[in-house]
Chain A
C-alpha cells in the first residue's frame, strides 16, 4: 500500500508574509527618510504644546514647590519614619534605575547579538536610559533631606577629615550609578552624531546653530566612521557588565542588610531581571506613543518591532517569575520566624491586595497576552501589557522597601507606612520624565536614520526555489 501525502489545507502563498512588511526589506531613499524624520520633529500641534504646558506646570509644582517644602520643613512632612526610613523615594529610585536598563539592553545587547529589528528604536530606548537615570537621581536627592551636603559622598580631601566609607553599599551605589549615568549618556551621544550632522544639513536658524554645535563638524569620512564605530563597539560590550553591576549593587543596598526579607543571595540577578522586565515594558509603551503621535513613524516602527519587544517581554517575565519563586521559596521553606512574619504580612496583611496585583501584572498579564504573535503585533495591546507590567514592577519595589521593612526584629517599631508628600513628588518625577521625552522628540532625531539605512543596505531577498527568503550580509 502506498501512502500519499495529503494536500495542504492552505496554499503556501497564504502563509507567507510580504517581505516588505519588514522595515529592512522596504527601503526608501535616504533623503526621503531624512525628510520624514525631520518633518516629524518639526510638526507640532496645539495638543503637543497643551500637554507640554500641563507637564511643565506639574513639574514646577510637584518637583519644584514640593521639594522646596520638603527642604524647608524637613523630612517630617514625608511619611518616612522608623522603621520605614526610605519609603517611596527609594521605590522610585529603584524603579527608574530599572527603567534605565531598557536602553542598554536594547541598544547594547541586541547590537552585540546583531538583532536587526533593533535598529529603528535603539535611540528611543537609549533616551529612556538617560531620562530614567535623571529621575532616579532626583528621587535620591529628594530623600537626602539636606541635599546641599550631597558632596560629602564624594572622595574629596577636606579639612574636616571626612572620607567616604567604601565599606558601605551606598558608596558602591554612588560609584556604579555615576559610572552608568556618564557612560550611558556618552553611549546615547555617539550614534547620535551622524544624525545630528544630517539635521544640521537640513536646518536653518537656531536649529542650524544647535545642530552644528552638537554635530562637532562630523562629515562622515572613513576615519570618522572608523573611530565612531570602534568607540560604539567598545561601549556596546563594556556597558553590558556595567548595566548588570548597577542593579546588582542596587539590590545589595537591601541584601547586605540583615533585615528579614532582604538578606537574600538571589537579590542581585532577581533585581537585574526585574529591571529588564520594567524596562522592556516601558519601551513598548514609548514605541506605541511615538508611533501614534509622531508623523511618519508608522514607516519606521512596525508590528515586527512590537513582536520583537513582546517576545523579549515574555521571556523576561518568565525569568522574573523564576527568580521571584527562588526568593520566595527559600525563606518560606527555611522557617525563620522573622522571614515568615514578613511573608505573612505581605500576603495576608492589610496590603495583601498589592501583592496579588503585582503577581497578576508581572506574571499573568504577560503570559496570557504575549504568547500569541498576532497579539504581540498589536501595538495598543502591547502598550497596555507594558503599562500593567510597570504597575506590577513599581508595586514589587513598594512591597520590598516600605512594606518589607514594616516587620523588623523589634516588634515595638512595627508601623505601617503611609506616603504623604511623596505622592505629589512621585507624580512630579513621572511628569518630568514625560516632559523631557516630549522636548527631546522635537530636538533629537529619535530614529537613527543612518543605522536604518545601514541595515537596509545589508538586507536583500534571495530566491531559493520558488520562495524569496530574507538574506543578510555582514556590513558592520
Chain B
C-alpha cells in the first residue's frame, strides 16, 4: 500500500496555479485530492476546477420558510392569548399581518444564511490547519495528496511551472 503525502504548493498568481493544477491532473491526482487556498475568491473555471458546492442557499431558504411560519404564528396564532379590539379591526388583520410575516421571513432567510456559512465551512475552527500566511498576501496555495514515493517528481514538476515553494503541508495554529 502506498502512503500519500499532503503537499502545499504556493504560486504567485492564478495563471501558474492553473498550470500547476493541470499538471497535477496529468500526474493522476484526483480532483477530490486537491484544494485551493487563496486570498480572494477565485472562480473554479479560472483554475480548471469544478464549481465548489455549497448548502448555504438551501439552508437559507429553509430559514425563510421557518421565519415566515413564525411570523404567521405571531400575527395570526397568538392574538387570542390576549384579544385586543382596535378601531373596529379584526383580532388578526390580514394587511398588517404581511408586515410582521415579511420581517420574520427576511430575518429567517438571512439568519439561516449566516448560520449556514458557519456550519458548511466548519466555523469556528481553532484546531491546527494547513496554511501559510503568504496566502493572505495574494499568493495561491494548492494543497494536494500525492504518493509519498513520487514526492520529488511532483515537487520538480510544479517548481518548473512557477511554484514558489512546494513542501509537505504543516498543520499549524492560525
Contact = CB atoms under 8 A, between A and B. Distances in A.
Determine if chain A interacts with chain B. yes
B60 interface: yes
B1 interface: no
B41 A167 contact: no
A183 interface: yes
Contacts of B44: 222
Contact of A166 (B96, B131, B174): B96
Contacts, number: 186
B30 interface: no
B117 A228 contact: yes
A161 B82 contact: yes
A182 B107 contact: yes
B114 A186 contact: yes
A178 to B, nearest CB: 8
A157 B38 CA distance: 49
Interface string B7-38: 00000001000000000000000000001111
Interface in B41-100: 41-44, 49, 52-54, 56-57, 60, 74-75, 78-79, 81-82, 84, 86-87, 89, 93, 96-97, 99-100
Contacts of A29: 137-138
B39 A198 contact: yes
Given A172-B100, A223-B54, A245-B103, A212 B117 contact: no
A224 B89 contact: no
B35 A234 contact: no
> Looking at chain A's contact residues, is the secondary structure mostly helix, strand, loop, or mixed?
helix
Interface stretch (B121-129, B148-156, B160-168): B121-129
B128 to A, nearest CB: 10
A450 B74 contact: no
B146 interface: no
A11 interface: no
A415 to B, nearest CB: 27
A34 B99 CA distance: 44
A8 B56 CA distance: 57
Contacts of B81: 157, 161, 163
B158 interface: no
A32 to B, nearest CB: 9
Interface string A194-218: 1001101110000000001101111
A453 B129 CA distance: 25
A212 B110 contact: no
Interface in A129-169: 155, 157, 161-163, 165-168
Nearest to A229: B41
Interface of B: 14, 35-44, 49, 52-54, 56-57, 60, 74-75, 78-79, 81-82, 84, 86-87, 89, 93, 96-97, 99-100, 102-104, 106-107, 109-111, 113-114, 116-118, 120-127, 129, 131, 133-138, 174
Question: Which 7 residue pairs are nearest across A and B when measured between Cβ atoms?
Answer: A30-B138, A217-B125, A31-B137, A201-B133, A226-B52, A163-B82, A225-B41
15 contacts: A165-B84, A172-B100, A175-B100, A175-B103, A183-B110, A194-B136, A197-B174, A216-B118, A217-B124, A219-B135, A220-B135, A228-B117, A231-B60, A238-B113, A457-B14
Given A34-B136, A218-B123, 8 more contacts: A186-B111, A213-B124, A216-B124, A218-B121, A222-B52, A231-B60, A231-B114, A475-B43
